[in-house]
């Protein structure tokens, strides 16, 4: 799966409700093969890696909804980056170009996209998810941007 197909799936799933968006992504993933789901995960890892930058982390951000966090932890930064991606390609491109666009309240439900990929894979294949992407998306992995 190339990035354009990845963004087609995400963009066609975007809803005003982040939880609904993630649910739609999962439904679309469940119509794919196990290899395609794995490839979707790899593209997600790449775009999360691209957002793993000091300037974004320092731009300041917060969360909306029930999740209480100060926006300072490594997981918080990852969850906010997930919300950017799940918000669609236009939001993603805007944040890449202008770090101040990251300084907003992100819906913490965006991080659920990490779980639904595994769930969809297991549903489709009947196998346990054991894939490690060649690109690490954890906070601080993009050392050139820190």
pTM passes above 0.85? yes
Tens digits of per-residue pLDDT, 67-121? 655 556 678 899 999 999 999 999 999 999 999 999 998 998 999 999 999 999 9
Query: Are 82 and 95 spatial neighbours (Cβ–Cβ below 8 Å)?
Result: no
Instruction: For residues 63 and 35, give the distance between their C-alpha atoms in angstroms, rounded to a whole number.
Output: 33
- At 73 the pLDDT is 66
b/e code 40-72 from CB counts within 10 Å (16+ = b): bbbbbbebbbbbbbeebbebebebeeeeeeebe
Tens digits of per-residue pLDDT, 8-23? 999 999 999 999 999 9
At residue 129's C-alpha, the angle toward residues 128 and 132, to 5°, is: 145
């Amino acid at each position: 799966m190339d990035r354009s197909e990845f963004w087609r799936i995400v963009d066609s799933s975007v809803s005003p409700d982040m939880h609904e968006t993630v649910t739609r992504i999962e439904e679309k993933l469940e119509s794919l093969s196990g290899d395609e789901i794995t490839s979707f995960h790899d593209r997600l890892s790449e775009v999360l890696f691209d957002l793993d930058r000091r300037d974004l982390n320092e731009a300041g951000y917060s969360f909306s909804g029930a999740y209480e966090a100060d926006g300072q932890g490594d997981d918080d930064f990852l969850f906010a980056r997930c919300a950017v991606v799940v918000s669609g390609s236009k939001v993603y491109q805007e944040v890449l170009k202008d770090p101040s666009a990251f300084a907003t309240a992100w819906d913490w439900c965006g991080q659920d996209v990490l779980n639904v990929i595994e769930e969809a894979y297991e549903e489709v294949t009947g196998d346990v998810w054991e894939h490690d992407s060649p690109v690490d998306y954890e906070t601080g992995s993009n050392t050139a941007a820190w």
